Amino acid sequence: MVNIGLDVSSMSDSVMTTATEVAHKLEVNNLTISYDGTPALSNVNLSVREHEIFGIIGPANAGKTSFLKSLNRMDTFNSSMSVNGQIRFNGLDIHNLKNIYALRSRIGVVFPLPVGLPLTIYENVALSPRLRGIKKRRELDEIVERCLTRAALWDEVKDRLNSLGSLLSGGQQQRLTIARALSQEPDLLMLDEFSIAVDPVTTMRIEDVLKELKQDMTIILVTNLVQQARRLADRTAFFLEGECVEVGVTEDLFTGQGKDQRTLDYIEGKFG
């Protein structure tokens, strides 16, 4: 997802606090999310560490996507969505930040279905760097190639960068969305079921990229594919019926060393 109209020039230095100044990239305390007064997620407490892949698993309607939306202040787009509790990003309470666009410029988001822009493939990826003030064509070229490569798309589109992104296949458009998110150079990359529209071979290629990317950023991965969480996530949270049941080291949860039997039952496919 690209955030149109980011006022990057006025971004507070405090939003870009370095990892050495905060214990966690993200801290969530007593988070409750409601839609028109009906709770979707209640009393969530968890933290996401710097440079980890943090997995979130759970059945449909567990509150996973609502959780991601709250981290990027997307409640401002939805008058029926109410968010209560504290969310700290880089040590700062996001509800006290005056420049929401600056926050969103540090958090890249990829949703289950591709959100296309009516632009060429090249301009889809170059838009965010341009908004940051990058004008030199050579520098933009390097960013576009790097992001498309990371999204496992470069080899397929390098000879038609001036074609509309909307003409790509569904799976290619999803990878273009990933490349566009990466072009923001985010501190935090959030992926919500990124592989729904992507074939298994390409999914594995992107998974390899995500393992590399955590050296540069923190990643939150929402997935209904529990084995994908096992392959990628350092730690995993299990959401169920609007509750964060537990958070633990991923391998511990998958080997029955979690605290709640419901987690293992879900992982083993007994419900969901």
Q: Which residue has the tokens 């958070």?
A: 247
Domain ranges of the chain: 24-267
Answer for the pair 250, 221: CB distance below 8 angstroms, yes or no: no
What was the pLDDT predicted at 98? 86
pLDDT in tens, the chain (272 residues): 333 333 333 344 444 444 344 468 999 999 999 999 999 999 999 999 999 999 999 999 999 999 999 999 988 889 999 999 999 999 999 999 888 888 888 999 998 877 767 899 999 999 999 998 999 999 999 999 999 998 989 999 999 999 999 999 888 998 999 999 999 999 999 999 988 878 898 889 889 989 989 999 999 999 999 999 999 999 999 999 999 999 999 999 999 999 999 999 999 999 87
78: helix, coil or strand?
coil
Residue bearing tokens 């509790």 = 85
Please give the radius of gyration of the chain, using alpha carbons only, rounded to the nearest integer.
18
Distances (CA, A) of 265 to 12, 44, 147, 227, 251: 45, 21, 38, 14, 15
User: How would DSSP label each residue in 89-154?
Assistant: ETTEEGGG-S-HHHHHHTEEEE-SS----SSBHHHHHHHHHHHTT---HHHHHHHHHHHHHHTT-H
CA triplet 149, 55, 237: central angle to 5 degrees? 170
Give the integer Cα–Cα distance in Å for 49 and 192. 18
**Domain 24-267 coded CATH 3.30.1370.60:** no
Integer Cα distance of 68 and 48 in angstroms: 13
Pair of tokens at residue 147:
């992001």
3-state SS track over 166-194: HHCCHHHHHHHHHHHHHCCCCCEEEEECC
pLDDT value at residue 113? 73
**SS3 call for 56:** strand
pTM of the model: 0.86
User: Using an 8 Å Cβ cutoff, are 237 and 246 in contact?
Assistant: yes
Question: What is residue 23's predicted lDDT score, i.e. its pLDDT?
Answer: 67
In whole angstroms, what is the distance from residue 147 CA to residue 125 CA? 8
pLDDT at 272: 77
Cα separation, 55 vs 120, whole angstroms: 32
List phi, psi (to 5°) of 208.
Answer: -60, -40
Q: What is the pLDDT of residue 210?
A: 92
